[in-house]
Structure 1
Amino acid sequence: MSPAALGPAIGAAFGIAISPVSIATVILLLLSPRAGRASLGFVVGWASGIAAAATVGALLSGVEAAGRRHVVLGVFEVVVGFLLLVSACVAWLRGRRAAGRRPALLRLIDRSTFPAAFVVGIVMAINPPNLLLALAGGGAIGSGGLTMAVIVLAIAVFTVVAASTVLIPVLAYFVAAERMRQPLDALRGWLARHDSVIVTTVLLVFGMLLTAHGVATLWAG
């Protein structure tokens, strides 16, 4: 598996992994009455949405377009990078308006069941910021000249990394539920205070990097 192909993809996976809303959501579920089943449903939905989006990105980047692969890939990266930058602006503005308030979606999932949490996980995985990062990660994998088997493996690794910050608290909960309650509650408070700053920074950095790489690809092609 080529490190050059996986580098940008793993970077995008980390961008998804540190999404404050998804981490806060799984923590909220772990503090709810149906913690075990609901948190597991969220993890499965979250990972499924990420894997699906990354697969679409890999397929799109693999289009040859009559020998104009560099143009297709460059345009794809520039468009996704620009949309990430727009999403960063939107996240910042929303964060300023919603300062001190918990997102409405989090209020609705306090008592989620497995199916409801599964749907919430998919919806969060394919909301614009995470969707764009997953598409970018899948695009990096698909454009690396890898075999189909390696692409499937790379997407699996990408999904595990992207879902790790949601998966780890759930696994820890099943191992030691009572000892996890206090640190989870503290982490939820910290995320609530710094939500918009984290999201905006991640989207801004990856938007700039992806746009620059797309422009360089077009220039080289």
Structure 2
Amino acid sequence: MGEAIGQILSYGVAVALSAFPIIGVVLMLATPRARTNGPALLLGWSLGLALVGTIVLLVSGGVGPSDQGQPADWVSALDLTFGVLLFGLSFTSPPPPPRDGKEVPLPKWMRTVDSFTPVKALALGTAMSALNPKNLLLSIAAASAIARTDTSAGAQAVALAVYVVLGALGPGTPVVLYFALRERSKHILDDLRLWMEQHNTAIMAVICLLFAAKLVGNAVSDLSS
């Protein structure tokens, strides 16, 4: 179990740093339905991570290490593919936000959060974690890493749960602050939202580059051994 959990720690932290779910939660916590929509988006985000991970584990059932302790060639090729895709995605982030105190342009859904119902917030959270290309690739890579360990199905499920919990820390932090501090949390959450908006491009580019290097390096090492 320890091996499986060790494989996903860095992936979980990377997903937790995704800016859009954090910004989305903060925006929803400033609406009249904050007490329901904020947790609903967080739940949807967690469900999306769990859904992708579960599908990958089921599809990858029985894909453990070979007799020599090395992954199968197709598994290494998959890592290489994910690494190349993440490398490409690191250069497809939106342009840097405007400076000189100007507001950052937000996606349309972020400008309409006041009208969201809990069901819509839940669906949005699920879509952001399960369908966003960067988060999807990270979740697939994390679940694939779990599947390749020589551990039982129960241990793999625990490792996936740890990944989901880690991945939920990003959008979960504003929710905890909101319920713990109430009105006093507004200033903290506004500052967090602005910081994430200003640095989203750099954060995601660095994350994608780091994990692209990790996956490509692992694949090259496995295929050449």
Q: Same fold (TM over 0.5)?
A: yes
Counterpart of 2:123 in structure 1 is 119
What per-residue deviation string (whole Å, max 9, x for no partner) do you get for residues 133-152 of structure 1? 01111111111111011111
Q: How does 1:82-93 map to 2 (within 5 A)?
A: 82-91=84-93
Q: Which has the higher helix share?
A: 1
Counterpart of 1:95 in structure 2 is 95
Percent of counterpart pairs with the same letter?
29
Could you tell me whether the CA contact under 8 Å between 1:2 and 1:144 is conserved in 2? no
From 202, 207, 211, give the equivalent of 2:212: 207
Distance of aligned partners of 1:124 and 1:140 in 2 relative to their CA distance in 1, 3 Å threshold: same
Separation in 2, partners of 1:71, 1:138: 17
Q: How does 1:27-38 map to 2 (within 5 A)?
A: 27-38=26-37
Counterpart of 2:41 in structure 1 is 42
| SS class of match (2:95) | helix
Q: TM (normalized to structure 2)?
A: 0.88
The reply on whether 1:177 has 2:176 as its aligned counterpart is no
Unaligned 5+ runs, structure 1: none
| SS class of match (2:31) | coil
Separation in 1, partners of 2:154, 2:62: 18
Counterpart of 2:101 in structure 1 is none
Separation in 1, partners of 2:213, 2:54: 23
Counterpart of 2:197 in structure 1 is 192
Could you tell me whether the CA contact under 8 Å between 1:17 and 1:161 is conserved in 2? yes
What RMSD, in angstroms, separates the aligned Cα atoms of the two structures?
1.9
Counterpart of 1:74 in structure 2 is 76
Could you tell me whether the CA contact under 8 Å between 2:29 and 2:38 is conserved in 1? yes
Could you tell me whether the CA contact under 8 Å between 2:63 and 2:147 is conserved in 1? no
The reply on whether 1:2 has 2:6 as its aligned counterpart is no
What per-residue deviation string (whole Å, max 9, x for no partner) do you get for residues 90-146 of structure 1? 11xx234x6431222322324311100001101100210000001111111111111
Could you tell me whether the CA contact under 8 Å between 2:63 and 2:148 is conserved in 1? no
Distance of aligned partners of 1:208 and 1:105 in 2 relative to their CA distance in 1, 3 Å threshold: farther
Counterpart amino acid of residue 161 in structure 1? L
Separation in 2, partners of 1:62, 1:219: 25
Aligned residues: 215
Counterpart of 1:15 in structure 2 is 14
Separation in 1, partners of 2:133, 2:208: 11
Separation in 1, partners of 2:77, 2:55: 16
Could you tell me whether the CA contact under 8 Å between 2:42 and 2:122 is conserved in 1? yes
Q: TM (normalized to structure 1)?
A: 0.90
Separation in 1, partners of 2:189, 2:63: 47
Separation in 2, partners of 1:207, 1:155: 21
Unaligned 5+ runs, structure 2: 99-103
Separation in 2, partners of 1:147, 1:89: 38
Q: How does 1:97-176 map to 2 (within 5 A)?
A: 99=98, 100-126=104-130, 127-176=132-181
Distance of aligned partners of 1:95 and 1:8 in 2 relative to their CA distance in 1, 3 Å threshold: farther
| SS class of match (1:195) | helix
